[in-house]
């Protein structure tokens, strides 16, 4: 059965990669960009760049208008409404570091921060380092056999000392939705702050931060078909009141003196220095593009491709999946074959997949693996991409076995 | 400085190899022929960090000539390391300092294995060899 992507031609890089005999299946790492984004970047730079929130001149007014329009589009994308603010950072990692530094004064020795065993390093290391700085306990929620956070265990681990819960919405290695409503309810019952790492989740389906009820929601633009160098932090109003500025300089200041200063409230107070203006404008264009797509058709396409991927892997001998992937990606190892060897031979055949620890070393160690191969899908992939991958996989395994 | 005989042979073979498949087979053969390291040598101190796979490298000067030995749990990198050892073993310290190893892999048609984004560890192995040879 053929599964064509009706959106493939909207992404010019896919054709360019194909001309270089490259099949791009590393979309959980970063995505190709729609023409609409390329046009927006070209338009901004060709028609007059200017800094934002600083100048009274016309180019500055135009840039600021476009920049703030993007903020509104992001808020609409997440259905933030009046519940909170959208803060632009330099990436999802940067957003999580902002939280780990900006919330630091709230923590006292012995307090607990709860994360899960499947966190990407970006949602592990900032909290680990905060725990070390403030003498806190970092509590790790275990997973069940399907790669989903074990709620029965979580009930006992999220307790009165829990001050903050930070979990991924969708694992970048296991491709499984995490039970956020139950986890967030447990954290809220303990008056803990809640942080959702939406870096993978935001790419699949629309998510409503008000319905989710988290205090903070983080994602990166480049994984959502947007420009790189840009992260998004949604903060609920009440939670933002507890967040201190982390980085200083630029227009985040309200009044500066030599010996003390006052700072702006969110969002500008958390956007020190010149923000990635073109990227913010570009993300707005990407969201316009995505909003114009039939969401049900996109979801159905991604589900069909994922099913195709899983069936193809299941049809081959000796392949072991990590967890029980539900969508977007599949990570696997092959019995008796080193993942570095497989990665080497897939690369030789122009298959761009990720091999290694996927920025989740502790999780791979838990599976007692040094690494795994990950195939990750985007809306522009089609079944021919997967067929090329399977052919290359068969060739590689034939050589290696 | 002339190529060691075995290195010259390997160069000839790789330059005649048609396509990725044959190069991969040659790498695996070379890797399989690499003399095994003792378990004692496969220790943390000899491990090369920065590789996807586990790679160990040991080296010593014998009568003024370098003798390196290495192993890996992955076959491709073992083959790449074997090609490296063919080129460097038996060189004097002064000769080893002069040798252009990236160019050696370039001549073999394997320069892509040394690109910055590669995490297979050949770069890390070269770096470790330099450290040992200091």
Give the model confidence (pLDDT) of A219-269 as tens digits.
999 999 999 999 999 999 999 999 999 999 998 999 999 999 999 999 999
Please tell me the distance from the alpha carbon of residue A92 to that of residue A123, in angstroms, as a whole number: 9
Chain B CB contacts of A343 under 8 Å are 52, 120
Q: Is the pLDDT of residue B1 over 70?
A: no
Do β-strands B65-72 and A193-197 pair in parallel, antiparallel, or remain unpaired? Answer: unpaired
Q: How far is A344 from chain B (nearest CA, A)?
A: 7
Residue B41 DSSP symbol? T
Peptide bond between residue A267 and the one before it cis (omega within 30 degrees of 0): yes
Chain B CB contacts of A348 under 8 Å are 20, 23-24
Task: Measure CB to CB from residue B76 to each of A340, A349, A395 and give the nearest one.
Answer: A340
> What value does the mean pLDDT of chain A take?
96
What is the arithmetic mean of pLDDT over A5-13?
A: 98
Residue of B nearest to A396 (CA): B21
Give the model confidence (pLDDT) of A50-108 as tens digits.
999 888 899 999 999 999 999 999 999 999 999 999 999 999 999 999 999 999 999 99
Which tokens is A389 given?
């991958």
Q: How far is A84 from chain B (nearest CA, A)?
A: 39
Q: Which CATH class is domain A38-291?
A: alpha beta
Which residue in A155, A164, A157, A92 sits closest to A134, CA to CA? A164
Map tokens 């190709």 to a residue: A32
Q: How confident is the model at residue A149 (pLDDT cuts 50, 70, 90)?
A: very high
Chain B CB contacts of A370 under 8 Å are 52-54
pLDDT (0 to 100) of residue A247: 96
Task: Measure CB to CB from residue A340 to each of B24, B28, B74 and give the nearest one.
Answer: B74
Q: Which of A359, A360, A372, A397 is catalytic?
A: A359
Work out the number of other CB atoms within 10 angstroms of the CB of residue A115: 24
Percent of chain B at pLDDT exceeding 70: 96
With an 8 Å Cβ cutoff, are B21 and A338 in contact?
A: no
pLDDT (0 to 100) of residue A379: 98
Q: How confident is the model at residue B117 (pLDDT cuts 50, 70, 90)?
A: low
Q: Chains A and B: how many Cβ contacts under 8 Å?
A: 44
Q: How far is CA A71 from the centre of its chain?
A: 18
Boundaries of every domain in chain B: 5-133
Q: How confident is the model at residue B120 (pLDDT cuts 50, 70, 90)?
A: low
Please tell me the distance from the alpha carbon of residue A108 to that of residue A130, in angstroms, as a whole number: 11
What is the arithmetic mean of pLDDT over A358-386?
A: 92
Q: Which of B17, B18, B20, B124 to mutate to test the interface with A (most CBs of A within 10 A)?
A: B20
Q: How far is B62 from chain A (nearest CA, A)?
A: 33
State the architecture of A8-25+294-400 in CATH terms.
Answer: Alpha-Beta Complex (3.90)
What is the arithmetic mean of pLDDT over B104-121?
A: 80
pLDDT (0 to 100) of residue A3: 97
The more confidently predicted of residues B112 and B80 is B80
Q: How confident is the model at residue B93 (pLDDT cuts 50, 70, 90)?
A: confident
pLDDT (0 to 100) of residue B127: 86
Q: What are the residues facing B72 on neighbouring strands? A: B55
Residue of A nearest to B31 (CA): A341
pLDDT (0 to 100) of residue B97: 87
pLDDT (0 to 100) of residue B112: 84
Q: How confident is the model at residue B85 (pLDDT cuts 50, 70, 90)?
A: very high
pLDDT (0 to 100) of residue A89: 98
B73 touching A (Cβ < 8 Å): yes
> What value does the mean pLDDT of chain B take?
89
Which tokens is A93 given?
């990692």
Task: Measure CB to CB from residue A340 to each of B20, B28, B120 and give the nearest one.
Answer: B120
* Catalytic residue status for A214: no
pLDDT (0 to 100) of residue A231: 98
Q: How confident is the model at residue A166 (pLDDT cuts 50, 70, 90)?
A: very high
Fold classification of B5-133 is Sufe protein. Chain: A (3.90.1010)
Q: How confident is the model at residue A155 (pLDDT cuts 50, 70, 90)?
A: very high
pLDDT (0 to 100) of residue A367: 87
Task: Measure CB to CB from residue B76 to each of A341, A356, A395 and give the nearest one.
Answer: A341
Please tell me the distance from the alpha carbon of residue B127 to that of residue B2, in angstroms, as a whole number: 23
Please tell me the distance from the alpha carbon of residue A115 to that of residue A143, in angstroms, as a whole number: 11
Length of chain B, please? 134
What is the arithmetic mean of pLDDT over A284-300?
A: 98
B54 touching A (Cβ < 8 Å): yes
Give the model confidence (pLDDT) of B25-44 as tens digits.
999 999 999 999 999 999 99
Contacts of A101 (CB under 8 A, 6+ apart): A126, A130, A244, A246
SS3 B110: coil
Percent of chain A at pLDDT exceeding 70: 100
pLDDT (0 to 100) of residue B132: 87
B71 touching A (Cβ < 8 Å): no
Boundaries of every domain in chain A: 8-25+294-400, 38-291
Distances (CA, A) of A244 to A55, A102, A130, A248, B12: 26, 4, 15, 11, 64
Which tokens is A215 given?
């205090």
pLDDT (0 to 100) of residue B119: 59
* φ and ψ at residue B37, rounded to 5 degrees: -85, 150
Please write down the HEC assignment for all residues of chain A: CCCCCCCHHHCHHHHHHHHCCCEECECCCCCCCCHHHHHHHHHHHHHCCCCCCCCCCHHHHHHHHHHHHHHHHHHHHCCCCCCEEEEEECCHHHHHHHHHHHCHHHCCCCCEEEEECCCCHHHCHHHHHHHHHHCCEEEEECECCCCCECHHHHHHHCCCCEEEEEEECECCCCCCECCHHHHHHHHHHCCCEEEEECCCHHHCCCCCHHHHCCCEEEEEHHHHCCCCCCEEEEEEHHHHCCCCCCCCCHHHEEEECCCCEEECCCCHHHCCCCCCHHHHHHHHHHHHHHHCCCHHHHHHHHHHHHHHHHHHHHCCCCEEECCCCCCCEEEEEECCECHHHHHHHHHHCCEECEEECCCCHHHHHHCCCCCEEEEECCCCCCHHHHHHHHHHHHHHHHHHC
């Amino acid at each position: 059965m053929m599964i064509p992507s009706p959106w493939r031609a909207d992404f010019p890089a896919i054709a360019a990669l194909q001309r270089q005999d490259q099949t791009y299946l590393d979309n959980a790492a970063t995505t190709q960009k729609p023409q609409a984004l390329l046009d927006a970047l070209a338009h901004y730079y060709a028609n007059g760049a200017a800094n934002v929130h600083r100048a009274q001149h016309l180019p500055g007014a135009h840039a600021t208008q476009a920049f703030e329009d993007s903020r509104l589009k992001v808020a609409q994308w997440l259905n933030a409404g009046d519940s909170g603010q959208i803060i632009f950072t330099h990436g999802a990692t940067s957003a999580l570091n902002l939280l780990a530094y900006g919330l630091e004064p709230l923590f006292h020795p012995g307090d607990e921060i709860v994360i899960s065993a499947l966190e990407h390093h970006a949602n592990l290391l900032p909290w680990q380092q905060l725990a070390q700085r403030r003498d806190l306990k970092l509590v790790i929620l275990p997973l069940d056999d399907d790669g989903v956070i074990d709620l029965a265990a979580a009930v006992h681990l999220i307790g009165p000392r829990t001050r903050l819960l930070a979990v991924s919405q969708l694992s970048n290695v296991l491709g499984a939705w995490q039970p956020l409503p139950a986890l967030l309810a447990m954290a809220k019952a303990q008056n803990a702050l809640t942080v959702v790492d939406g870096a993978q989740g935001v790419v699949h389906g629309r998510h409503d931060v008000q319905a989710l009820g988290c205090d903070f929601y983080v994602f990166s633009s480049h994984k959502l078909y947007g420009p790189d160098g840009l992260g998004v932090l949604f903060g609920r109003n009440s939670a933002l009141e507890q967040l201190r500025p982390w980085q200083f300089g630029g227009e985040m200041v309200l009044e500066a003196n030599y010996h003390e200063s006052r700072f702006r409230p969110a969002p500008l107070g958390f956007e020190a220095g010149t923000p990635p203006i073109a990227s913010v404008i570009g993300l707005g264009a990407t969201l316009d593009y995505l909003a114009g797509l039939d969401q049900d058709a996109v979801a159905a396409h991604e589900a069909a491709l994922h099913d195709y991927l899983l069936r193809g892997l299941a049809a081959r001998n000796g392949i072991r999946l990590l967890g029980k992937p539900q969508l977007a990606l599949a990570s696997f190892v092959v019995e008796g074959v080193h993942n570095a060897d497989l990665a080497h031979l897939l690369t030789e055949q122009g298959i761009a997949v990720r091999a290694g620890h996927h920025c989740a070393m502790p999780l791979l160690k838990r599976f007692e693996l040094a690494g795994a191969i990950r195939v990750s899908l985007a809306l522009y992939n089609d079944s021919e991409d997967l067929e090329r991958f399977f052919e290359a996989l068969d060739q590689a395994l034939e050589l290696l076995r | 400085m002339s190529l060691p005989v075995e290195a010259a042979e390997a160069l000839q073979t790789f330059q005649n190899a048609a396509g990725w498949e044959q190069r991969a087979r040659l790498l695996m053969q070379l890797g399989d022929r690499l003399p095994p390291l003792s378990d004692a040598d496969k220790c943390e101190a000899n491990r090369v960090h920065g590789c996807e796979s586990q790679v160990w490298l040991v080296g010593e000067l014998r009568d003024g000539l370098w003798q390196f030995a290495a192993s890996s749990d992955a076959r491709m990198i073992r083959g790449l390391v074997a090609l490296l050892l063919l080129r460097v073993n038996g060189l004097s310290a002064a000769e080893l300092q002069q040798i252009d190893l990236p160019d050696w892999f370039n001549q073999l048609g394997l320069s892509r294995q040394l690109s910055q984004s590669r995490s297979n560890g050949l770069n890390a192995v070269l770096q470790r060899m330099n450290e040992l040879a200091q």
